[in-house]
Amino acid sequence: MKSNHITAAIVQHGPEYFNKEKSLDKAVELAKGANAKGANYIVFGETWLSGYPAWLDHCPDVALWNNDSVKQVFAKMYANGVTVPGPELEVLCKLAKELKSGICIGINEVVRSGSKNGTIYNSLVLINEKGQLVNHHRKLMPTFTEKMVYGLGDGHGLKSAEIHGAQIGGLICWEHWMPLTRQAMHNSGEQIHAAVWPNVHELLQVASRSYAFEGRCFVLAAGQIMKASEIPSELELPAKYNDDSSKLVLTGGSSIIGPNGQYIVEPIFDKEDILIAELDLSDIVKEKMALDVTGHYQREDVFELKVNTDRK
């Protein structure tokens, strides 16, 4: 690896929906494949392990209060959730150490003890190249229909961590529209940022590129693929998918963006793929000449940001 360079990859594949064992096996193979192509930092999308609940926005059953089918799906989602710490993360930490590669992956995190037993969090975990869990972030505010299945997160994970000499962090989906959340992450000294989404459509491309430009950092905007056939069988399939269950519900859109807000790898839609790019960290300093929202373009004598980093 060149000094001051990171070779980063986005895995734009879907998991084995609601099957954490097979999803974990798939994640291992995909990470090995990305690493074989030279990647030493690998990103998977939002709640990749094991499946983003896209059915919340598509299935008519969800709108019915006290619907037993939806409760069954929630129970299945919980059963296939990941604990932190837990056996699934042990596998991923061992893998990261073996590959000498950082891994960032979204998970459906579950709590199976204490007062929060039964809660699911939309979480993002970051593992360094030594196989150590260096950050565990719970999404601050579930977005719209997500409030039906996810608990509220906290500020404990609003930080970056060192991987291969670079400061790396991440946020989940609509957290990228929260100005103070963005500034908290910029203040952490991020150089590479994982923006994990279920689907990186046009407006989310705007958010990802804006984050890169504002934070003067590289952004890996990670989407994923989901077929209509993967919508849980307990739920009624939306009418638009009745004629062809191979149609895509989540279409990817992953991209890699430089600290000037321009694409290094343009968005890829409608297919499973692995995006790879070599990132030259010295490009960050060049862009900070014009804008540095944590340095010369910040007025700390006017503004003060305090972040509660306690784990809830």
Rg (CA), the chain: 19
Tell how strand 161-163 and strand 133-138 pair up.
Answer: unpaired
Within the chain, what is the greatest distance between any pair of CA atoms? Answer: 61
* Alpha helix ranges (H) inside 43-178: 68-79, 87-99
Q: Please say if 59 is a catalytic residue.
A: no
Whole-number Å distance between alpha carbons of 50 and 19: 6
Instruction: Estimate the crossing angle of helix 179-187 against helix 202-215, to 10 degrees.
Output: 40
- Residues 306/161/208/305 CA torsion (nearest 10 deg): 10
- Bridge partners (DSSP) of residue 226 are 250
Q: Which of 104, 139, 190, 234 is the catalytic position?
A: 139
Q: Which residue has the tokens 């963005």?
A: 182
Q: Please say if 93 is a catalytic residue.
A: no
The token pair that represents 77 in the structure block = 């989602």
- Residues 270/274/277/279 CA torsion (nearest 10 deg): 110
Helix (H) / strand (E) element for 210: namely: helix 202-215
Whole-number Å distance between alpha carbons of 81 and 51: 9
The token pair that represents 48 in the structure block = 């990749």
- Bridge partners (DSSP) of residue 250 are 226
**In the chain, how many H helices and how many E strands?**
6, 13
Q: Which of 46, 129, 146, 287 is the catalytic position?
A: 46
Phi and psi at residue 94, to the nearest 5°: -65, -40
Note whether 104 and 168 are within 8 A (CB).
yes
Q: Which of 16, 173, 217, 287 is the catalytic position?
A: 173
Instruction: Count CB-CB contacts under 10 A for residue 297.
Output: 12
Q: Please say if 173 is a catalytic residue.
A: yes
**Could you list the active site residues?**
46, 139, 173
